[in-house]
Structure 1
């Protein structure tokens, strides 16, 4: 039976979908069977950072409306055979009950080690459905006051509805203090003092993450990139249920972070 984790946020635009795609990739690289569920009906885009958009034939709405079987909806990742995606409908008109969604998640959980749900942002019904179906929750927060305040509100709701505190991933953190101040970013210490939770991990503000999304190739696949290593570190923390801090390695950064397809497959096969 899989551990079911909903990945959510207090507001949109904090990189929640990118975090979901990369955490799933990192967990799969560590040998886990992983299923990613896009639960953001209407704004469905988890397929984009995974590079799986052209493989979608059926989505979750098709299954819920009995137009196909659940295994017809599952899409295998291009690089990792132990990573799958369940896309959802891009139509705003679809509705489903919390019980129906939970049943789907629990059905999938029988075949995987981890099920990660990309939850809609905010506190509407989609957020509640994703939270009710999960065993754990991860809240993605950026260093901007609006994100921090909204995350604090969501954390309070999750603590009321779950028997444990959610975990936190800090995203888009700027290491250059002067640049962070000029952008009016809160420090990591200030964020955590407001949220009163331990951090599961930190992802840096890095243009390479944007490039990886555009290429449909998660940066977690790139061990020469600092954020690639950081996602793997977060995945290890999830597996071990710990909050070990990340220790950066002094690596010479190669800007061609997304290496050729055949070279990537050779590297991945050596890691499996």
Structure 2
């Protein structure tokens, strides 16, 4: 149905955390079939967010070369129902236009949503990822250098006649953070999504469980589920159990 790409202007902003939790929320809360294509060759950690520590022999590189390798290069998270095609160490020497064809094919056949976890910054495959996307998420933090890097990424997105949803992650509401007005003005946007800083996030990563499963009723979990719903055009309606957990800060 759609290809959703998650980008960031720099590393360390929580892009892969956003990717893993959007995928998990779409699969669990909205009951859709989801696959993640990991193109993050610089720091491929998506599998660790799902508690997958085993060696993954086949990767996205094999699938781009030969789509018949898809089944062998797909690893499933039984806990979340999300499928993952891991990143190779390098995408050099590959016809990256095939990435767009692969993503489109998967979205039109086996999967409701294909989510691409892109490498941070501006890599050789960044523009190919943008072109392959139906929807784009740019993840940043509420600090001037981070938002400045996001501006460059926004310009690349606009160059390809696409639009992006900006997600400001790890918001703590401190005085030294950029204000909403400053972020909107710098990026020339009307609105953006805020995801709060929460200790449950690093704790969930240490357990290899996405926070939307690990701490279902936490504020950060609720915000991520709401974002997932926004991306697929559906409203997230928390269950009674989740509302109770949120009330007690669970």
1:63 Cα offset (Å): 3.0
User: Offset at 1:80?
Assistant: 2.7
* Aligned Cα root-mean-square deviation (Å): 2.1
Distance in 1 of aligned mates of 2:234 and 2:56: 33
The alpha-carbon distance between structure 1 residues 113 and 168, as it changes in their structure 2 partners (threshold 3 A), is same
Residue in structure 2 matched with residue 125 of structure 1 by the alignment = 124
CA distance in structure 2 between the aligned counterparts of 1:208 and 1:6, rounded to whole angstroms: 24
Superposition map of 1:138-177 within 5 A: 138-162=137-161, 164-175=162-173
CA distance in 2, matches of 1:157, 1:211: 34
1:195 aligns to 2:191 (yes or no)? no
1:87-117 superposed Cα distances (whole Å, 9 cap, x missing partner): 111x247442221211221222221111110
8 A Cα contact 2:42 2:119, kept in partner: no
Rounded Cα–Cα distance in structure 1 between residues aligned with 2:182 and 2:42: 34
Task: Describe the superposition over 1:162-219 as per-residue Cα deviations: whole angstroms up to 9, x where unpaired.
Answer: 2x421111101013xxxx12xx321233212321224452211122111111111000
* Paired residues of 1:168 and 1:198 also in contact (CA < 8 A): no
Question: Does structure 1 conserve the Cα–Cα contact (< 8 Å) formed by 2:65 and 2:94?
Answer: no
Checking the alignment, whether the CA contact within 8 Å between 1:61 and 1:94 is kept in structure 2 is no
Deviation at 1:124, TM superposition (A): 2.3
Determine the structure 1 residue equivalent to 2:17: 18
In 1, Cα distance between the equivalents of 2:19 and 2:119?
12
Provide TM-score, normalisation by structure 1.
0.80
Unaligned segments of structure 2, at least 5 residues: 236-242
Contact 1:173 1:203 in 2 (8 A): yes
Question: What are the within-5 Å matches in structure 2 for residues 253-264 of structure 1?
Answer: 253-254=249-250
Structure 1 stretches lacking a partner, 5+ long? 243-248, 255-272
Equivalent pairs counted in the alignment come to 238
1:137-171 deviations in Å (ceiling 9; x for gaps): 11001011111011011101101102x42111110
